[in-house]
Structure 1
Amino acid sequence: MTETDPNNPVAVALELERLRGSLEAGFARADGQLALLVQRSDQTDKQLADHEARLDSLEHSRWPLASITALAATAGAAVALWEVLH
């Protein structure tokens, strides 16, 4: 019996050990890739949260400008109307 003979129990055991090693290496590579994807997803979530916070702060600091502009325009129109009538 040779080592490549499928009836040889030693050959079968060696081939199973090689397959086991290949599977372990493949699973380790897949785990590494999944861990990298999770890390990138976490970074993306953090960036999205940061952008949301920045956008919210810009929106909150901007709303008085529109109100002030509307009040100034209304006051200007009232003054102009008052001057025209008097």
Structure 2
Amino acid sequence: MTVPEASVAVELERLRGTVATGIAEIKGSLSVLVERSARHEQDLIQLREETQKDIDALRVDVEALKRNRWPLAAIGALTGVAGAATGLVSLLSR
């Protein structure tokens, strides 16, 4: 082996080491990203469950409010009839 071939071999070995190091760094970065993605997915699932529980609780509250509300239409009709009756009584009593 001559000197130029030796230097080429050394440079190729150095390049191989650099590529191997780069690939190892990429694998490490990908592992971190996969772990973060899995953690975010778990957080999202938990958030969805909590949100659904809150929505269900609000639905129960709304249904309770609907059941306990005053029948405003009936009260308005009764008030109108009472007013008309009062007016009629005062008109006839003159």
Q: Please give the residue correspondences for 1:36-75 in structure 2 after superposition, counting only pairs within 5 Å.
A: 36-75=25-64
SS of residue matched to 1:48: helix
Unaligned 5+ segments in structure 1 are 1-11
How far did 1:61 drift?
Answer: 2.1
The list of structure 1 runs, each at least 4 consecutive aligned residues, that deviate by more than 4 angstroms after superposition, is: none
Question: Structure 2: where are the runs of 5+ without partners?
Answer: 76-94
Q: TM-score, normalised by structure 2?
A: 0.69
- Highest RCO, 1 vs 2 (Cα 8 Å, sep ≥ 6): 1
Backbone CA RMSD of aligned residues:
1.6
Residues in 1 aligned to 2:48 and 2:2: alpha-carbon distance in whole angstroms: 68
Determine which structure has more spread, i.e. the larger CA radius of gyration.
2
Per-residue deviation at 1:56? Answer: 0.8
Q: How much identity, in percent, do the aligned residues show?
A: 12
1:35-64 superposed Cα distances (whole Å, 9 cap, x missing partner):
101100110100110111111112112212
